[in-house]
């Protein structure tokens, strides 16, 4: 296939691009940098539509990093607009093509469900409340022009993507290796995670399965609480995990972002992936951590 990938230089995008190329697909990067094969400026609303002709599939991953800093009003607006306006611009352009792609896999997140405690959440569960839930709802809604044009649209609701090379796990490794890691807040908040390798394989699976459309949870079938995650990571590193980060300290350090990313959680099941026959290579946290940490070894 000829696959357009936005956000191809990011953690997920770079791994996806490598996997697609390895199986013989042609990857075309859409980005803002000078090295992008197709350049766009979603803030200014600029995109060369003619360059999008002839794509078989599109994977749209671009968006402002939600963990890039405290959620000031300006940053929250950048988080929202980079996703919503960027998706709207891209989907409107795809809808006007003479030969639109067959499928659009568009990133979203399990933040859609909000803070839901221990309730098991599947793709048909209702939206939650809060900033991330509002952003994810608007983000998914922005793909409507592509749906209307007849493009198969799948919303990839990512959980926490685990990789030793970046993202949340990479930031946790130093304090845990120093023996000062532990649970955050009460530790009872649920963490729905997925190994990067499985996330990439799931995206490829979605591109191939014509029946998969609408929301798709990209999470392991075995979520865990924050306390369980801390213990598993400590065990994998052979370090204690007995130094909790109090909720008040997280709020002082990170403000609203602490509430949205660290102190709340949701227990998400990848129901539609499993129903479609997808098999996880790393469904259990202990096995995923062993694999990821072994990749770090020289």
3-state secondary structure of 173: helix
**Residues 6+ positions from 249 with CB-CB distance below 8 Å:** none
In whole angstroms, give the CA distance from residue 66 to residue 111: 11
Helix pair angle (131-141, 73-95), 10° resolution = 20
CATH of 2-289, one of 3.40.50.300, 3.40.50.460, 3.40.50.720, 3.30.420.40: 3.40.50.720
**pLDDT level of residue 221 (50, 70, 90 thresholds):** very high
Question: Buried b / exposed e across 18-28, counting CB within 10 Å, b at 16+?
Answer: ebbeeeebebb
> Stretch 67-71: mean pLDDT, rounded?
90
Q: Are 219 and 193 a contacting pair, CB within 8 Å?
A: yes
Each domain of the chain, given as residue ranges in start order, spans 2-289
In whole angstroms, give the CA distance from residue 187 to residue 229: 9
What are the pLDDT digits (tens) for 129-156? 999 999 999 999 999 999 999 999 999 9
**Residues 6+ positions from 28 with CB-CB distance below 8 Å:** 2, 3, 4, 5, 37, 38, 55
> Stretch 216-238: mean pLDDT, rounded?
97
**Length of the chain in residues, anyone?**
298
**pLDDT level of residue 34 (50, 70, 90 thresholds):** confident
End-to-end CA distance of the chain: 35
Q: Are 289 and 236 a contacting pair, CB within 8 Å?
A: yes
> β-strand 38-41 against 46-47: which pairing, if any?
antiparallel
Distances (CA, A) of 263 to 65, 71, 136, 156, 196: 18, 15, 19, 23, 23
How much is the mean pLDDT over the chain? 95
Strand ranges (DSSP E) for the chain? Answer: 2-6, 26-31, 38-41, 46-47, 57-60, 103-109, 120-121, 152-158, 160-162, 190-191, 193-195, 214-218, 224-225, 267-268
In whole angstroms, give the CA distance from residue 287 to residue 167: 19
Query: How many C-alpha atoms does 236 have within 13 Å on its Cβ side?
Result: 24
**pLDDT level of residue 296 (50, 70, 90 thresholds):** low
């Amino acid at each position: 296939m000829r696959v357009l990938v936005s956000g191809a230089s990011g953690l997920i995008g770079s791994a996806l691009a490598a996997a697609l190329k390895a199986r013989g697909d042609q990857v075309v990067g859409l980005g803002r940098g000078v090295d992008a094969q197709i350049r766009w400026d979603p803030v200014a609303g600029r995109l060369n539509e003619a360059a999008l002709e002839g794509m078989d599939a599109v994977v749209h991953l671009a968006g402002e990093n939600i963990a890039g800093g405290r959620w000031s009003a300006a940053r929250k607006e950048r988080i929202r607009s980079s996703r919503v306006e960027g998706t709207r611009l891209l989907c409107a352009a795809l809808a006007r093509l003479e030969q639109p792609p067959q499928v659009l896999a568009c990133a979203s997140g399990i933040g859609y469900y909000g803070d839901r405690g221990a309730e098991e959440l599947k793709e048909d569960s209702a939206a939650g409340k809060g900033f991330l839930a509002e952003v994810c709802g608007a983000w998914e809604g922005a793909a409507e022009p592509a749906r209307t044009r007849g493009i198969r649209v799948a919303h990839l609701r990512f959980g926490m993507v685990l990789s030793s090379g970046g993202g949340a796990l990479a930031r946790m490794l130093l304090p845990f290796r120093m023996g000062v890691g532990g649970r955050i807040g009460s530790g009872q908040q649920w963490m729905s995670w997925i190994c990067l390798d499985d996330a990439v394989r799931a995206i490829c699976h979605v591109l191939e399965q014509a029946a998969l459309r609408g929301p798709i949870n990209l999470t392991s079938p075995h979520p865990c609480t924050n306390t369980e995650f801390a213990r598993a990571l400590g065990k994998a590193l052979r370090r204690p995990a007995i130094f909790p980060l109090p909720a008040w300290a997280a709020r002082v350090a990170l403000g609203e972002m602490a509430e949205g990313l660290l102190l709340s959680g949701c227990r998400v099941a990848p129901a539609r992936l499993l129903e479609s026959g997808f098999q996880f290579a790393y469904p259990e946290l202990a096995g995923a951590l062993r694999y990821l940490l072994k990749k770090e070894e020289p």
